[in-house]
Chain A
Amino acid sequence: MNPEQARKVIFEVLGDIAPEVDESAVDDDLDLTEQLDLDSMDYLNWMVGINEMTGVDIPQRDVSKFLTIAGAVAYLVEHSTEPVG
């Protein structure tokens, strides 16, 4: 998976949780939960959705890497084995 594909998945799932989010207004390096007013359930649902779409497992120790868009993109690029289908 390349960064563009990872980004696409990330925002697609985010769109289900926070439909009003404008991708261009999101700062890749800031804490997502604060920026987008996500609570822990939203945050968990987001990671579950990403896991379902990409098959990339997100173990508990890596959850903190998903606090920013940049972190999530890097993680998916590094850990994805198959192309998104």
Chain B
Amino acid sequence: MIDFLLPSLGADMDRAKLNMWLVGPGDPVHKGQIVAEVETEKAVLEVECWDEGVIEELLVQPGPEWLPVGTPMARIRSVEPAEAPRSPETPAAPSQKPLPARPPTRRPREVAPPVRHLAHELGVDLSTLIGTGPEGTITRQDVHAAASPLVTPATPTPPRAEPRVKASPRARFLADSLGVDLARVSASGPGGMIRAYDVESAPPAAPEPEDKVTAMRRAIARSMSHSKREIPHYYLATHIDLDEAMRWLELQNAERSISKRILPAALLLKATALGLREIPELNGHWIDDGFRPSPSIHLGVAVSIREGGLVAPAIHDADQLDLDEMMERLRDLVNRARSWRLRSSEMSDPTITVTNLGDRGVETAFPVIIPPQVAMVGFGKVVDTVVAVDGSPSIHPVVHATLAGDHRVTDGHRGGLFLATIDRLLQEPESL
């Protein structure tokens, strides 16, 4: 039997509410299947399961309660053949499979009493903190940082005080996503239970977009304060001539219908992903006072949300995608991020992040690394610039590429090589 745990949901997210199950007892599940939908302060996420088997029992029900990451959510009966005897040198592994590449272990309950006391005094909710101490323990600094005026005073979502209304899970989910107060919905189900239909036909309540945005800002504040406090950043910048790349892209796009068009961003992302194969020290996580390189390249892409805020979900195995696939994934990711519908694995496992602020007219970005990642790449606006070509002035499209690196892991020399590699790759766009 395997316990299916609430997976890690990103570096700055350590709890979620269960919106709904997409499977029930008796249903077979396979690796990568989306089995539930949860909601964090930042986004509604589809949760994937990484085990094979049959759902034996659902251990938690949809509801407004916050569940910490690691909460057992369901029991899965493994359908693998009878357990093979373990070799003696392998310690009896726990039956839970490790979660996909994840940020530092956080065990919010392991807090030293003095720290717990401090948190209580400052009114900080420990369950909302990311520990930066050994093994993810929460330190005094973490508590002070959370209590600093930068972060909205720690007033986590107050527990809903209204008496628990009888409602079907689907109705609860709908009510939550539509911003309908269940207490005001008249029930038509058996025993006075509110059904999904009742919620849909309820008079619309005032939407509360502010809440999501405020929660997101709080999450960004935590993550970025952590980054600026803990990560010794170094910054590098270089100009990359995109003459070849833009000409090539223009030719490609001339033959394509509008829906198949490739944006320059896809080219920049692909070059970054391929560059990381050559400089792997920039791709991975800083966990427990050490660098853990990642064998896969999961490129986080910073996506701004129209109402305000930012998420940086991952394009998985970005180095293995061709440009069409990259463009398709980027479009899908941006669209889902903007409609607050991302998957748990996309939030939890970027191994490096790229921000492309060129669209906003910015020429140079100086990124802040998203912990526990160890680097972030920025691209500015593509600008027509006078460049020297064979000793004569010529006008070429040029982009300013920047790198923020974690000095604990790399030095400017390696970082510089990485930017030079991206430059080299962009000079041969047909091989991207």
The one of B258, B263, B264, B330 that contacts A58, using a Cβ cutoff of 8 Å: B258
> What DSSP secondary structure best describes chain A's contact surface?
helix
B109 CB–A CB distance under 8 Å = no
Q: With A and B bound together, what is the CA distance between A58 and B263 in angstroms?
A: 15
- In the complex, which residue of chain A has the Cβ closest to the Cβ of B357? A39
Determine if A61 and B331 form an interchain contact, defined as CB atoms under 8 angstroms apart. no
How far, in Å, is A45 (CB) from chain B's closest CB? 7
From A18, A39, A52, name the one whose CB has the most chain B CB atoms within 10 angstroms.
A39
Determine if A60 and B254 form an interchain contact, defined as CB atoms under 8 angstroms apart. yes
B359 CB–A CB distance under 8 Å = yes
B31 CB–A CB distance under 8 Å = no
The one of B257, B265, B304, B306 that contacts A57, using a Cβ cutoff of 8 Å: B257
Residues of A within 8 A of B335 (CB): 41, 45
Given known A-B contacts A40-B263, A41-B331, A41-B334, A61 and B258 have beta carbons under 8 A apart: no
Given known A-B contacts A18-B306, A39-B359, A40-B359, A60 and B331 have beta carbons under 8 A apart: no
B96 CB–A CB distance under 8 Å = no
Given known A-B contacts A18-B306, A40-B265, A41-B263, A60 and B360 have beta carbons under 8 A apart: no
How far, in Å, is B342 (CB) from chain A's closest CB? 15
Given known A-B contacts A18-B306, A39-B359, A39-B360, A44 and B254 have beta carbons under 8 A apart: no
How far, in Å, is A43 (CB) from chain B's closest CB? 9
Given known A-B contacts A39-B360, A45-B335, A57 and B263 have beta carbons under 8 A apart: no
Q: Mark A28-54, 1 if CB is under 8 A from B, else 0.
A: 000000000101110011011001100
B155 CB–A CB distance under 8 Å = no
Determine if B263 and A44 form an interchain contact, defined as CB atoms under 8 angstroms apart. yes
Given known A-B contacts A39-B359, A40-B359, A59 and B331 have beta carbons under 8 A apart: no
Q: With A and B bound together, what is the CA distance between A51 and B261 in angstroms?
A: 13
From A20, A41, A51, name the one whose CB has the most chain B CB atoms within 10 angstroms.
A41
Determine if B360 and A51 form an interchain contact, defined as CB atoms under 8 angstroms apart. no
Q: With A and B bound together, what is the CA distance between A41 and B335 in angstroms?
A: 9
Determine if A44 and B261 form an interchain contact, defined as CB atoms under 8 angstroms apart. yes
Residues of A within 8 A of B264 (CB): 40
B392 CB–A CB distance under 8 Å = no
Residues of B within 8 A of A61 (CB): 254
* 29 cross-chain CB contacts under 8 A: A18-B306, A19-B306, A20-B306, A39-B304, A39-B359, A40-B263, A40-B265, A40-B359, A41-B263, A41-B330, A41-B334, A41-B359, A44-B258, A44-B261, A44-B331, A45-B335, A47-B258, A48-B258, A48-B259, A51-B258, A52-B259, A57-B257, A59-B254, A59-B258, A60-B250, A60-B253, A60-B256, A60-B261, A61-B254
Q: What are the nearest 7 A-B pairs in CB distance?
A: A39-B359, A60-B253, A48-B259, A58-B258, A41-B334, A51-B258, A60-B254
